[in-house]
Structure 1
């Protein structure tokens, strides 16, 4: 007999059903079981706003596991110390904070404008590859400024290595086994760091560190001094890919909604018409004036958070929503269902960008908006991602009416394994008169 305070399970719930349709099972779990439910023994789902917020803020009880995608490379010189890693993270965060992003809007806007300008018109186009390329140019340039052209091809290979590594497989190989995907990942990490190392040394020897994210990481800290080269190198592959991989997933959903909601798209276009004719003249004040566009982006991210499921592991026996969670248990935090909590959002399944205009402070309320996470491990690139996505949305809607291809075939396939994505999304752009 199970414990009385054990989270409920779905009738006939199992990993088999979960694997077939994760979104449907997640919705059923939230609707039928409530705030926290059990997928199988030792695996729990935080399904609504309150428990999701609690797990993400209680980092000591539910820590974020180190990313397995780009683990530190083994080197003869030894791995950076925890203190050095902490310093590297803090330096990186300074380069991604909202005020730093705001000061560089004039660098971001021209590339979103170029993406829109180069969209082939009056034909069905698989749009995510060019979106990814445009956002990669923005993200890599934000991190590395004038050295971005050198590093962009290596960043593209890092992304490819990530995609190969996270493809669904019948077998869960132990992490110590050097599978072909893991060997390819390591090769690309080595190639990236080999390309970045001389850039770091050149900047340090010349004294021109730069005011980009890399430059901030190279500046000596009053407390820690000079950050070792290996600590800089280890921390950058993952964030380099993250600057464009997750925003690309988000952009797919946003462009799809511009196609499906033409009145909303027209409202974005009217707002975007007030942007400067020269994209390089765009400032944070212009970005801040795109109230409805930002609301539309936020609403799409509410309905389809690109990181729709976050994994945490309990370090000790603890309580969550009045249930006992044993040490070692896995807790899946589900922003997808939390954002559909009717206690937090009226008509939660409806696409209503206006809800963010009616209460502009609501994204900061606990549990209401979790697309970038929250707490100690919230997405450090949230400000950059919102700037990229808002400008991309505005520039695209200003130029085009978007539509889905005619015919019985869907314009995309929903992928849920490593995020919520519109795989193969095809759209048609017609010049807006």
Structure 2
């Protein structure tokens, strides 16, 4: 086999190194080249240019279907690909930045309640607390008045997802009905049945709603009315995504508030200008939280929750000057792309100001990939940024955070399904954090 035009390989047994420490192996591989080979047929796009190219070239590197919430088996069959595309377009009507900005007053109260209910004066495990608040906020954004009835089903969907992606020594074929997959299917069926009742009630009453579900139920001049199954099959994944990935991001953000009190003070100063009544918060208030948003972008640059994205090449193609054979897997690595000194001076330094002083721009291709990019970029990016910005502001406004004392970090970094501060514990002290 001619290997003269293949990317460099990580020396020293790359797959073994990858299994031991995926972040360290990714950084070591990035030193070998912008595109490198993990093992035969598996390549890593490690720099901004190749990452951007893979994510935008959907024909050459299509996104594989998610195995987490596959279509349920029904007599009527799964929705056609075109119906799924129409369902995604309908969802985006309610998730685009303008739509999110118009509903900031509905998002802000949930983040304020999370801050109000934070236990003070003792070490608290952060992620369950934040996840509960963001789940309530995200599900309410999707389903408004029906959110209380659907929230328990959404939380059980998340639990099923966590069980399914838990690392295991055995990798079973997708058709094997393992206990985790059967549990996932039961929760998916329960959520779908509960949502079906909501969809039918709204359609029969004619009150479709102005939330994301309402946008999906509203007839379109382009494709008419979406079939019921197209609405139901495409919502479990986005429902969990509204709080699962933002919760991982929130762990890193709150950890940085604890470690950088000067930055926390600047966030608190901005947050002091928010309305006392969270429901009165508007998109204009959110736009004024410029340093807060810069801090969040900087944390997500250093610790992108979705730090590794998988694409496959159905045909022979080129990437970064190399030939990629058909059937190959390409791993897109925002973690290393974000730490490229050619794009970000002092890449390992936490410096939120880089997003304010003109040296960094999230619009520059490949520079900010925390939410992906291209045709399969994160649908909920605007909603996630709004929730994270308001949550960060409300917590910094009320508390000073600190890590538990001791030489060892109070969390474990996990990388299997996302970059997570598992078990993170922080302590909140009430009062003006600037005092």
Coarse TM-score class (shorter-chain normalised) = over 0.9
Cross-structure match for 1:428 = 427
Cross-structure match for 2:272 = 273
CA positional deviation for 1:360: 8.1
Cross-structure match for 1:15 = 15
Matched, 1:354 2:347: no
> CA-to-partner distance for each residue in 1:374-422, whole Å, 9 max, x for gaps?
0000001000000000000000001010000012342100000000000
Cross-structure match for 1:326 = 325
Gaps of 5+ in 1: none
TM-score (norm 1): 0.99
Cross-structure match for 2:293 = 294
Secondary structure (helix, strand or coil) at the match of 1:363 reads coil
Matched, 1:215 2:209: no
CA positional deviation for 1:16: 2.0
TM-score (norm 2): 0.98
- Check the 8 A contact 1:13/1:39 in 2, yes or no: no
Cross-structure match for 1:155 = 154
Q: What is the alpha-carbon distance in structure 2 between the residues aligned to residue 10 and residue 80 of structure 1?
A: 42
Secondary structure (helix, strand or coil) at the match of 1:342 reads coil
Q: What is the alpha-carbon distance in structure 2 between the residues aligned to residue 48 and residue 399 of structure 1?
A: 39
User: Structure 1 pair 12/2, CA: closer, same or farther in 2 (3 Å)?
Assistant: farther
Cross-structure match for 1:179 = 178
Matched, 1:313 2:325: no
Matched, 1:86 2:85: yes
Q: What is the alpha-carbon distance in structure 2 between the residues aligned to residue 59 and residue 152 of structure 1?
A: 34
Matches within 5 A, 1:9-408: 9-31=9-31, 33-359=32-358, 362-408=361-407
User: Structure 1 pair 354/361, CA: closer, same or farther in 2 (3 Å)?
Assistant: closer
Greater shift after overlay, 242-251 or 353-362?
353-362
CA positional deviation for 1:361: 7.1
CA positional deviation for 1:13: 2.9
Q: What is the alpha-carbon distance in structure 1 between the residues aligned to residue 336 and residue 391 of structure 2?
A: 27
Q: What is the alpha-carbon distance in structure 1 between the residues aligned to residue 325 and residue 299 of structure 2?
A: 35
RMSD between superposed Cα atoms in Å: 0.9
Secondary structure (helix, strand or coil) at the match of 1:45 reads strand
Q: What is the alpha-carbon distance in structure 2 between the residues aligned to residue 337 and residue 236 of structure 1?
A: 31
Gaps of 5+ in 2: none
Q: What is the alpha-carbon distance in structure 1 between the residues aligned to residue 195 and residue 129 of structure 2?
A: 25
